Amino acid sequence: MENLGCMNPKDVRSLIRKNQLVRPTAGIAQGYTQANLAILPKELAYDFLLFSQRNPKPCPILDVTEVGSPEPKLTAPGADLRYDVPKYRVYKKGQLYEEVFDLENYWNKNLVAFLLGCSFTFETPMIRNGIPVRHIEENCNVPMYITNIECNPAGVFAGPVVVSMRPIPAELVVRAVQVTSRFPAVHGAPIHIGSPERIGIKDITKPDFGDAVTINQGEVPVFWACGVTPQAVAMRVKPDLMITHAPGYMFICDTRDEDLSVF
Amino acid sequence: MENLGCMNPKDVRSLIRKNQLVRPTAGIAQGYTQANLAILPKELAYDFLLFSQRNPKPCPILDVTEVGSPEPKLTAPGADLRYDVPKYRVYKKGQLYEEVFDLENYWNKNLVAFLLGCSFTFETPMIRNGIPVRHIEENCNVPMYITNIECNPAGVFAGPVVVSMRPIPAELVVRAVQVTSRFPAVHGAPIHIGSPERIGIKDITKPDFGDAVTINQGEVPVFWACGVTPQAVAMRVKPDLMITHAPGYMFICDTRDEDLSVF
Separation CA A227–CA A42 (nearest Å): 21
Q: What is the mean pLDDT of residues A105-123?
A: 95
CB neighbour list of residue A165: distance below 8 Å, 6 or more residues apart? A142, A143, A144, A145, A196, A204, A207, A213, A221, A222, A223, A224
User: Is the predicted pLDDT of residue A51 greater than 70, yes or no?
Assistant: yes
A27 or A129: whose pLDDT is higher?
A129
Mutation pick from A53, A114, A191 vs chain B, by most beta carbons of B within 10 Å, is: A53
Interchain contact, A53 vs B64, CB within 8 Å: yes
Q: In what order do the strands lie in the sheet with A160-169?
A: A144-150, A160-169, A219-225, A192-193
Separation CA A111–CA A9 (nearest Å): 24
In chain B, residues with a C-beta closer than 8 Å to the C-beta of A155 are 66
Interchain contact, A53 vs B49, CB within 8 Å: yes
ipTM for the whole predicted complex goes beyond 0.90: no
- The predicted-structure confidence for A174-200, as pLDDT tens digits, reads as follows 999 999 999 998 999 999 999 999 999
In chain B, residues with a C-beta closer than 8 Å to the C-beta of A73 are 152
What per-residue confidence (pLDDT) applies to B2?
A: 60
Neighbours of B45 (CB within 10 A): 21
What Rg, from alpha-carbon coordinates, does chain B have? 18
In chain B, residues with a C-beta closer than 8 Å to the C-beta of A52 are 53
Q: What is the mean pLDDT of chain B?
A: 95
Q: Which residues of B74-106 are buried (b: 16+ CB within 10 A; e: fewer)?
A: bbbeebbbbbbbbbbbbbeeeeeeeebebbeeb
What per-residue confidence (pLDDT) applies to A3?
A: 87
The chain B residue lying nearest A177, using CA atoms, is B263
What per-residue confidence (pLDDT) applies to B185?
A: 87
Closest CA to A223 of A117, A134, A136, A144: A144
Interchain contact, B64 vs A50, CB within 8 Å: yes
Q: What is the mean pLDDT of residues B34-40?
A: 96
Q: What is the mean pLDDT of residues B136-141?
A: 91
Interchain contact, B64 vs A54, CB within 8 Å: yes
Looking at CA atoms only, how far is residue A125 from chain B in angstroms? Answer: 17
CB neighbour list of residue A3: distance below 8 Å, 6 or more residues apart? none
In chain A, residues with a C-beta closer than 8 Å to the C-beta of B53 are 49, 52-53, 61, 64
CA B61 from centre of chain: 10
User: Is the predicted pLDDT of residue A1 greater than 70, yes or no?
Assistant: no
Q: What is the mean pLDDT of residues B196-204?
A: 98
Interchain contact, A50 vs B53, CB within 8 Å: no
3-class DSSP assignment, residue B168 = strand
In chain B, residues with a C-beta closer than 8 Å to the C-beta of A156 are none
What per-residue confidence (pLDDT) applies to B1?
A: 52
What per-residue confidence (pLDDT) applies to A174?
A: 96
Q: What percent of chain A has pLDDT over 90?
A: 89
- Going by pLDDT thresholds of 50, 70 and 90, the confidence category of residue B47 is very high
Out of A74, A155, A189, name the one closest to residue B54 (CB).
Answer: A74
- Going by pLDDT thresholds of 50, 70 and 90, the confidence category of residue A248 is confident
The chain B residue lying nearest A155, using CA atoms, is B66
Closest CA to A103 of A251, A209, A237, A239: A251
What per-residue confidence (pLDDT) applies to A2?
A: 60
Angle between helices A173-181 and A120-128 (to 10 degrees): 130
Closest CA to B71 of B53, B58, B84, B60: B84
Separation CA B154–CA A210 (nearest Å): 36
User: Is the predicted pLDDT of residue A116 greater than 60, yes or no?
Assistant: yes
All structural domains of chain A, each given as residue ranges with its CATH number in brackets, are 8-19+32-118+235-256 (3.40.1640.10), 120-226 (3.30.2040.10)
What per-residue confidence (pLDDT) applies to A112?
A: 98
Hey, CA dihedral for B55, B59, B63, B66, is it positive or negative? negative
What per-residue confidence (pLDDT) applies to B231?
A: 86
Q: What is the mean pLDDT of residues A104-131?
A: 94
3-class DSSP assignment, residue B142 = coil
Interchain contact, A50 vs B73, CB within 8 Å: no
In angstroms, what CA-CA distances link A198 with A125, A176, A194, A223?
Answer: 28, 20, 8, 11
